[in-house]
Structure 1
Amino acid sequence: MTYYKTRDEIEIMRESVLIVSKTLGLMAQEIKPGISTLELDKIAEEFIRDHGGEPGFKGYGGFPNTLCTSVNEQVVHGIPNDIPLKDGDIVSIDCGVKKNDFYGDHAYTFMIGEVDPETQRLVEVTKQCLDLGIEQVKLGNHIGDISYAVQQHAQKHGFSVVRELVGHGVGRNLHEKPDVPNFGRRGNGPKIQNGLVLAIEPMINLGKRKVLQLRDGWTIVTVDKKPSAHFEHNVAIIDGKTEVLSTFEFVEEALAQKV
């Protein structure tokens, strides 16, 4: 069942989403060669709780941590560990926060130090896929319009689209209907209506699209061990207009200060 939100409910959601955006901004400040994803996880959990939220992922389906940290060939759902990040790595940091019974959930792929040009292009194109998908979130459009935009842009640049995992609705539940695949045909799927809030999240591979789950029961990796990138925003239709609830401005400000 798809849950359509009232304007007041979406305003409540903004608080959760903003904490996620600020947490990702903090990660941008802290991330560097030598730091471990487990260290980042602890920093994130403390920040979220200090701001009145609860880590939305911790305990969800048994997931053990606050962040999903997916390094290089890991696509999504990577479990934080004590292995130091190194120059040339990329890492998707996916964060969820629950506050006032509503969730926020979005992600950013960080490049650590000097990343090879091909992987850098993957990251850039995946972020573009997210922007193009969001452009299709219009009253009267269909979910398939989002899917088509993401798939076409990724494949135009020679990359492949993960099919086993999809975006989703978000609200009182972390995952709600409708599913938002990153592949599909224009005009297909549910119609986009007022009050819909989506988590749009392209997951794009440098190599082939096939993935598998590791024995930890969570981490999804590319079968060919080539890198994968992942970005995610929360997008709402409010009074017939599209609004991106999440923001990367805190990430971008922090990264700009590092240059």
Structure 2
Amino acid sequence: MSVAVTIPVKKCSYPACEKEAKLQCPTCLKLKIDNNSHFCSQECFKTFWPIHKLLHEPKATVSADGGTINTPATTNNLARFKGYKFTGPLRPEKVFPQRTVPSHIQKPDYADDSIPHSERASDRRNASIVEHTAEEIECIRECAKLAREVLDIAGDAAKVGMTTEELDTIVHNAAIERNAYPSTLNYYKYPKSCCTSVNEVICHGIPDARKLRDGDILNVDITLYYKGFHIDHNEMYLIGNVDEAGKKLVRYAYECLDKAIAMCKPGVLYRELGNVISKHANEGGFSVVKNFCGHGIGRLFHCNPSVPHYARNKAQGVMKPGHVFTIEPMINEGTWKEDMWPDDWTAVTLDGKRSAQFEHTLLITETGVEVLTARTKGSYLDRHNI
């Protein structure tokens, strides 16, 4: 990566920044690119680098509004919404073409044809829960460390004015730089390298050209595939000035996950997690989504156990050392019920009210639980006291 050099004062090219710029990208200087090449600080330059560096590629262009990469064509995703009755104020925008992954990156079995063959071959109704070996756990820990780094990079970049497409670019490049495959990419034809769920989106929002707005709440969900193993986690981010009700929703979502994790140890029934999650969510006046749940993870993106988040569920299984799984409660301001956008992925609340979610991948140890994707000191949650 280059280091910016001093120039006469101009506006910072990072779309989320309004400060005056006194630095310019040296590569842009060599290529005689003057537009969108100015930055107020090395921090803005480094944050925007995964997107800005695309300017240096032949035929790459950036829009005048501050950095959106214009690729030759976009998918015709908006036509699918004709006649659809939206449940809330959020609207989709153009989705840009699916990115590619270099050949040297190890890929899951669905990377080319979108079908997770090994997952389909497993019988989740009768299959036991995998008890990972010490060697496998070390690989899983490596993947978790990388996934944590990528999610922190995304969280630090998410600001008013940035599009979720730009966030996806940052996530994709950060994964590739770590020799990891972004697990969502082409999984059952999902077109992006992460999920970005804004406001009333419960989960699986597809990154697009919509800019993040002041007051949005945003979930970024990242899964990496590395050395034959997947790691899955997500966090909420407060964009600009979020109202107190939104902050409360986000806080309760995090507390629900935290209370469920505190229960985890050998001998605990998976179905018991939903009781503590529902109790805490209901105390805050919130509901718990029932149709999406946590799951086992490892060599497969999704496997046993299933981990529902609502009370009195009938999940099977008892926690044992070596089990690796996610807990990812989705907490809503209104009804727990959802609707599905015509893109076949984006789940939104049926009443258009906001939803919040946090997720960790966990390992059951001999004495308790290890949070594999635990936040690091100085990460977004730590800095915002969530």
So what's the TM-score if we normalise by structure 1?
0.95
Please give the residue correspondences for 1:78-93 in structure 2 after superposition, counting only pairs within 5 Å.
78-93=205-220
**Cα pair 2:204 2:345 within 8 Å, conserved:** yes
User: Taking every aligned residue pair, what percent have the same amino acid on both sides?
Assistant: 35
| 1:101-150 residue CA offsets vs partner (Å, 9 max, x unmatched) | 00010000111011111111000000000000101111111012211111
Is it true that 1:25 corresponds to 2:179 in the alignment? no
- Structure 1 or 2, whichever has the larger Rg, is 2
| 1:188-233 residue CA offsets vs partner (Å, 9 max, x unmatched) | 6311111111111010001111101110000000011000001000
**Cα pair 1:22 1:250 within 8 Å, conserved:** no
> Quick check: which one's strand share is greater?
1
Q: C-alpha distance in 2, partners of 1:27/1:254?
A: 13
Moved more, 122-131 or 245-254: 245-254
Q: C-alpha distance in 2, partners of 1:24/1:54?
A: 14
Q: C-alpha distance in 1, partners of 2:216/2:208?
A: 15
Is it true that 1:52 corresponds to 2:174 in the alignment? no
Question: Counterpart amino acid of 1:252?
Answer: S
Match among 137, 145, 167 for residue 40 of structure 1: 167
Instruction: Say what the alpha-carbon RMSD is for the aligned residues.
Output: 1.7
The Cα shift of 1:6 comes to 1.2
Is it true that 1:13 corresponds to 2:140 in the alignment? yes
- Residue in 2 aligned with 1:213? 340
| 1:50-74 residue CA offsets vs partner (Å, 9 max, x unmatched) | 0111111101111100010000000
Q: Find the residue that maps to 1:249 and give its secondary structure.
A: coil
Q: C-alpha distance in 2, partners of 1:214/1:134?
A: 31
Question: Counterpart amino acid of 1:228?
Answer: S
Match among 131, 134, 147 for residue 274 of structure 2: 147
Q: C-alpha distance in 2, partners of 1:231/1:25?
A: 14
Q: C-alpha distance in 2, partners of 1:255/1:147?
A: 26
**Cα pair 2:308 2:315 within 8 Å, conserved:** no
Pair 1:251–1:184, CA change in 2 (3 A): farther
Please give the residue correspondences for 1:133-144 in structure 2 after superposition, counting only pairs within 5 Å.
133-144=260-271
Q: C-alpha distance in 2, partners of 1:255/1:222?
A: 28
Moved more, 238-247 or 47-56: 238-247
Greater RCO structure (CA 8 Å; 6+ sep): 1
> Quick check: which one's helix share is greater?
1
Is it true that 1:68 corresponds to 2:188 in the alignment? no
- Residue in 2 aligned with 1:242? 369
Pair 1:49–1:227, CA change in 2 (3 A): same
User: How many residue pairs get matched?
Assistant: 257
- Residue in 2 aligned with 1:226? 353
**Cα pair 2:295 2:304 within 8 Å, conserved:** yes
Q: C-alpha distance in 1, partners of 2:157/2:382?
A: 10
Question: Counterpart amino acid of 1:27?
Answer: A
Pair 1:197–1:209, CA change in 2 (3 A): same
| Unpaired stretches in structure 1, ≥5 consecutive residues | none
| Unpaired stretches in structure 2, ≥5 consecutive residues | 1-126
Pair 1:40–1:192, CA change in 2 (3 A): same
The Cα shift of 1:186 comes to 8.8
Q: C-alpha distance in 1, partners of 2:372/2:288?
A: 25
Q: Deviation above 6 Å: which 4+ runs of structure 1?
A: none
**Cα pair 2:257 2:327 within 8 Å, conserved:** yes
The Cα shift of 1:15 comes to 1.5
Pair 1:254–1:166, CA change in 2 (3 A): closer
- Residue in 1 aligned with 2:91? none
**Cα pair 1:21 1:250 within 8 Å, conserved:** no
So what's the TM-score if we normalise by structure 2?
0.64
Please give the residue correspondences for 1:163-202 in structure 2 after superposition, counting only pairs within 5 Å.
163-185=290-312, 189-202=316-329
